Structure 1
Amino acid sequence: MSVEHGCSQAAMISGMHIRCAETRDIEQLHKLLRQVLEVHHMGRPDLFKTGATKYTNDELCTILANEQTPVFGAFADDDVTLLGYAFCIFQQHEHSNILTDITTLYIDDLCVDESARGQHIGTALYQHVLDVARSAGCYNVTLNVWSCNPGAQAFYERLGLTPYKVGMEQIL
């Protein structure tokens, strides 16, 4: 699939801009990834460790270099301070016996720095993801939200997302 993934030009928003994250941003990506991990750990300490890192530096380099896994960063005007990010994955089910052959832009992770919340950065990131998905010819944008994070679920619902499947469990 050859599509424009929204990294060639930065999207400008008042007081910040959105561009694809680069290897020089890895340290700040880790900082925000830890914030997300702590939210999940507080909600589900039985599943999520504390103080860990989701990715190694090498794994982040691989993600950042892959056009199928764009990472959009919202940066302050200094182009250094990371205010938020959206880790995305282009998904397609080619040759599936049961699923149609649509292209989805899946948001694997969306985070706004704790110190920058309430400034509509998450909304701007989500709108940027929608724009990229539309320009890439995607059918939809999807994401998962943990039920232990009702604030995130309410945020996504305010943006217009609706549940399309529900994960369930029984702890033994």
Structure 2
Amino acid sequence: MTRIREASPGDVDALVRLNGMVQRLHARHRPDLFVDEPSEAGMAERFRGWLRDEASTLLVAESDEGDVVGYTFCRVERRKGSLNTLPATVVSMEHLAVDPGSARSGVGAALVEGVREVGRRAGCRRLVASVWEFNDAARPFYQAIGLRPMQVRMDQPL
């Protein structure tokens, strides 16, 4: 049974390891945007900063053996309305990573449910997430758990 809990400073090494797997995927597909191997010390400090940030939440998935097998990072965003849009409070899922050995075992879905709960407690009405077009594993996963495309962002080298 996977247990979802808030991350702690003792989880930083596992978070850096899991983030590295996703980072390498991004760098492989978009080397024009992503570095291959960001500094582990820099990433560790980034995670420590997110742990201190009250608007951010880092959740980890822990296996029965106590190993961190996935994580998600989310933020509650209070968006002002404009002439064209309504004000909204949303929970934005910025990162989601699952160890390949735990893929397709419900870890990702449990982490997303944890993000939903963070959003509900904060009064959010929506969960938003971004996924890269090249991420053939993530797009069907997000759709299977109920997320739908909201906006398509396109780019072109100049």
Normalised by the length of structure 2, the TM-score is 0.91
Could you say if the C-alpha distance between residues 102 and 95 of structure 1 is closer, same or farther in structure 2, counting changes exceeding 3 Å?
closer
Instruction: Determine the C-alpha separation between the residues in 2 that align with 1:34 and 1:58.
Output: 14
Q: In the alignment, is the contact (CA less than 8 A) between 1:34 and 1:53 conserved in 2?
A: no
- Residue aligning to 1:41: 27
Write the distance in 2 (CA, Å) between the matches of 1:75 and 1:100: 38
Name 2:101's counterpart in structure 1. 115
SS where residue 139 of structure 2 aligns?
helix
Structure 1: tracts of 5 or more residues without a match: 1-13
Please report the RMSD computed on the Cα atoms of aligned residues, expressed in angstroms. 1.7
- The answer to which structure has the higher helix fraction is 2
Q: Which runs of 4+ in 1 moved over 3 A?
A: 53-56, 94-99
Please tell me the residue identity of whatever aligns with 2:9. T
Residues 31-40 or 49-58, more deviating: 49-58
Instruction: Report the Cα distance in structure 2 between the residues aligned to 1:53 and 1:147, rounded to whole angstroms.
Output: 26
Q: What displacement does 1:99 show?
A: 3.5
Aligned length, in residue pairs: 157
The 2-side partners of 1:31 and 1:134 are apart by 29
| 1:112, distance to aligned residue in structure 2 (A) | 0.4
- Structure 2: runs of 5+ lacking an equivalent: none
Identical counterparts, % of pairs:
31
CA contact (8 A) 2:90 2:126 kept: yes
Q: In the alignment, which of 51, 54, 61 is matched to residue 37 of structure 2?
A: 51
In structure 2, the residue matched to 1:140 is 126
